[in-house]
Chains A and B, each alone.
Chain A
């Protein structure tokens, strides 16, 4: 799932303070699940932004609406009527959702209310862990299902570096050393030979804007 968190209110205000009719668009997909941009957050955020504006001597008509998924065009159409007379859009979707809104309503400025931070696991409601950097060349088959690109602070492929103490990363003692975890996992699975072989330099394939056409794609 895509994990996002809300930007500072003052930063969103500085982007939107010169507009009078603002539509805040939530997303019932990932950002709702991670408590960053669903219906409830839209309602709360609308209230907070309104108060903040008043406090700073500006005023705007704020509206809110949450779509099923901001990253799918089919769910964006229902917004068309609602965008009449709107002069700015604030997206509470992820970076993809925000960009689809910006594309569909390209005569209206779109501002992100969230920082999209990672692809991760939902450990508990409100507690998320980053697990994937979408590097485009999945290494998990060699590394016992633990991502070195994401979970190692240096993102190295022949770890662990010298910075591991008591199984923890030198960057932050709260973070386990990914390569210590990989070692233990591979040992448990009798696949420790993976740790003995040199992994060659990564082919970073996701550096250009990606387009994916799946086998199931049928042109309509």
Chain B
């Protein structure tokens, strides 16, 4: 039994993702990027591709610092559709007042899972000279949410909350960012702060990831949280090159480049999906991994195919 379960305060209102994790199922989550506009139909269309194929859907929070429909509103639309969201929340755009306020609002709208992130730096987005907030960092956000939930108070003052949010608290993990030797310890900090589930940066080099997981297990971290491995299907050779060169913490093995390069015209995407499925199979056999998180950017409609090919269907009903 996960050590975390022994002291978890998860109540009857806990969500599907938490229940599945706790029952030992291999969970499947996917990602949905909100639209650059106010049209709920776009959200519904993207979500319809994922409904029934995944256990929960991550809603990104102005990812790459580009303004989009808010993650709270998008997540609430998913709740309305009967799809369980994992609401991502970045500390780039909100101080601790806004963060706590948004969490109370999200909980009122039926959102049960929150992924705490610092967020992509504002200079990468479409408002590069806006003021980044960073009043708190992701680990501090995790800690604030745990205090709100478990102690029912606002952390800075100890003032009682009239209706504390029952949340499944998550955080991200970047196993391959520098300094690599420190990464398991930083993960431990996130767990110590209160993170119950972890979604990792995209994994391509499974061998390196398994070595990382060995170190994570040596620290006993996998006993205290649910680690969900992140995967992202490569759509093309160009995408693989871009990721390798521009995204920190992404290591793509040389053999994948060869596979993508040798795929017949227009078929690189299929090859990318095959690679993705192979990675998922290996992750399923990695000790300490509780599930996978599929980040198919603007490729949500290919997610069912990936899940199906990996033999992860049907998803359990809980």
Contacts and interface: CB of A to CB of B under 8 A. Distances in A.
A binds B: yes
Interface of A: 153-167, 170-171, 177, 180, 183-184, 195-196, 198-202, 204
26 contacts: A154-B134, A156-B138, A158-B138, A158-B139, A160-B177, A160-B178, A160-B182, A161-B138, A161-B177, A162-B174, A162-B177, A164-B177, A164-B179, A164-B248, A165-B177, A165-B249, A167-B179, A170-B248, A177-B178, A180-B178, A196-B189, A198-B140, A198-B193, A200-B140, A200-B143, A201-B136
B179 A180 contact: yes
Contacts, number: 91
Nearest to A168: B178
A162 B172 contact: yes
Nearest to A167: B178
Contacts of A198: 139-140, 143, 189, 192-193
B134 A155 contact: yes
A156 B120 CA distance: 13
Nearest to B172: A162
B135 interface: yes
B185 A195 contact: yes
B103 to A, nearest CB: 15
Contacts of B92: 154
A157 B121 CA distance: 15
Contact of A162 (B96, B179, B249): B249
Interface residues of B, number: 33
Contacts of B132: 154-155
B28 to A, nearest CB: 22
Interface of B: 92, 96, 118, 120-121, 123, 132, 134-140, 143-144, 155-156, 172, 174, 177-179, 182, 185-186, 188-189, 192-193, 201, 248-249
Given A156-B134, A160-B186, 20 more contacts: A154-B118, A155-B132, A155-B134, A156-B138, A157-B140, A158-B137, A158-B186, A161-B138, A162-B172, A162-B201, A162-B249, A163-B248, A164-B179, A165-B178, A170-B248, A183-B182, A184-B179, A196-B185, A198-B140, A202-B135
Contacts of A166: 178
Contacts of A196: 185, 188-189
A170 B174 contact: no
Contact of B123 (A171, A195, A200, A204): A171
A128 B297 CA distance: 41
Contacts of B155: 201
A162 B182 contact: no
- Which 8 pairs from chain A and chain B are nearest by CB? A162-B174, A156-B137, A158-B139, A164-B178, A165-B248, A162-B177, A163-B248, A170-B248
Contacts of B201: 162
A117 B62 CA distance: 29
A154 B96 CA distance: 15
A46 B177 CA distance: 50
Nearest to A153: B121
A162 B248 contact: yes
A148 to B, nearest CB: 9
Nearest to B175: A162
Contacts of A153: 121, 123
Given A156-B134, A158-B139, A201 B178 contact: no
Contacts of A200: 140, 143
B121 A154 contact: yes
A180 B134 CA distance: 19
A49 B120 CA distance: 42
Contact of A154 (B137, B139, B192): B137
A170 B182 CA distance: 18
B248 A157 contact: no
